C-alpha cells in the first residue's frame, strides 16, 4: 500500500489551496486511524516555479479561468493556470500524472471545470473528479477515496 500521495496544484484566489489543505488534514486523520491509508504531500505550482523533472507519481488539481468561448466551440483562452499545464507538459512529467481533479463554478455551465478536462485530454490521463469552489467535507471524503482507489490501480 502506498504511504504517501503527491498533489501538485495551482491556486490564484486560494480556493484550491483551501481544498487541498482540507484534503491533507483529512488524509492525516485517515492515516492515523488506519496506517495503510496514505497521507498527502502538497506542492504549489505558480508562474515562479522552475520547471523540473518530477520523480514520483502525482495528481494535479486545477481550477478553471477561461476568457471567452462557451466551452463547446474553440473560443476559450486559458488564463492564470497555464504554468501548471506547462509544468505537466515538461519532460516526462505527464507520464507520472495519475490524473487531474478539476474545480470551478457551476455558473459557468459548459465551461465548468473545463481546464481540468482539457488537461486530461491533452496529457491522456484520467479526469478523476470535480468540485465547486472550496468544496465541502463530502467532497473531501469522496475525492480522497478516488485518489486512493486510482493509485491502487497503479500499484
Ligand atoms: C476570471 C474568472 C474566470 C473563471 N472562469 C471559470 C470557468 O470558465 N469555468 C469554471 O468552472 N469556473 C471558472 N471560474 C471560477 C474559478 O475556477 C473558481 O473560483 C475556483 O475555485 C478558483 O480557484 P482558486 O481560488 O484556487 O484560484 C472563473 C473565475 C474567475 C475569477
pLDDT digits (tens, 9 = 90+) for 10-60: 999 999 999 999 999 999 999 999 999 999 999 999 999 999 999 999 999
Expressed in angstroms and rounded, the spacing between residue 31 Cα and the centre of ligand 1 is: 31
pLDDT tens digits, 83-141: 999 999 999 999 999 999 999 999 999 999 999 999 999 999 999 999 999 999 999 99
Atom 8 (ligand 1) nearest CA: 66
Cα–Cα nearest to 56, from 126, 7, 122, 127? 7
CA atoms within 13 A on the CB side of 8: 28
Query: Domains in the chain, ordered, with CATH?
Result: 4-154 (3.40.50.360)
Expressed in angstroms and rounded, the spacing between residue 143 Cα and the centre of ligand 1 is: 19
> What backbone phi and psi angles, to 5 degrees, belong to 91?
50, -130
Atom 12 (ligand 1) nearest CA: 104
Q: Is the Cβ atom of 63 under 6 angstroms away from ligand 1?
A: yes
Is there a contact between 92 and 53 (Cβ–Cβ < 8 Å)? yes
Q: Is the Cβ atom of 115 under 6 angstroms away from ligand 1?
A: no
Amino acid at each position: 500500500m502506498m504511504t504517501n500521495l503527491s498533489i501538485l496544484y495551482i491556486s490564484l484566489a486560494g480556493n484550491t489551496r483551501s481544498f487541498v489543505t482540507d484534503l491533507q488534514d483529512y488524509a492525516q486523520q485517515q492515516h492515523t486511524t488506519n496506517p495503510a491509508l496514505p497521507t498527502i504531500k502538497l506542492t504549489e505550482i505558480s508562474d515562479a516555479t522552475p520547471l523540473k523533472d518530477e520523480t514520483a507519481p502525482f495528481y494535479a488539481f486545477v481550477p478553471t479561468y477561461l476568457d471567452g468561448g462557451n466551452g463547446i466551440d474553440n473560443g476559450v483562452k486559458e488564463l492564470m493556470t497555464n504554468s501548471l499545464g506547462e509544468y505537466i507538459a515538461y519532460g516526462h512529467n505527464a507520464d507520472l500524472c495519475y490524473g487531474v481533479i478539476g474545480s470551478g463554478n457551476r455558473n459557468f455551465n459548459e465551461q465548468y471545470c473545463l481546464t481540468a478536462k482539457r488537461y486530461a485530454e491533452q496529457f491522456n490521463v484520467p479526469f478523476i473528479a470535480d468540485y465547486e469552489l472550496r468544496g465541502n467535507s463530502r467532497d473531501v471524503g469522496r475525492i480522497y477515496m478516488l485518489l486512493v482507489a486510482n493509485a491502487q490501480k497503479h500499484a
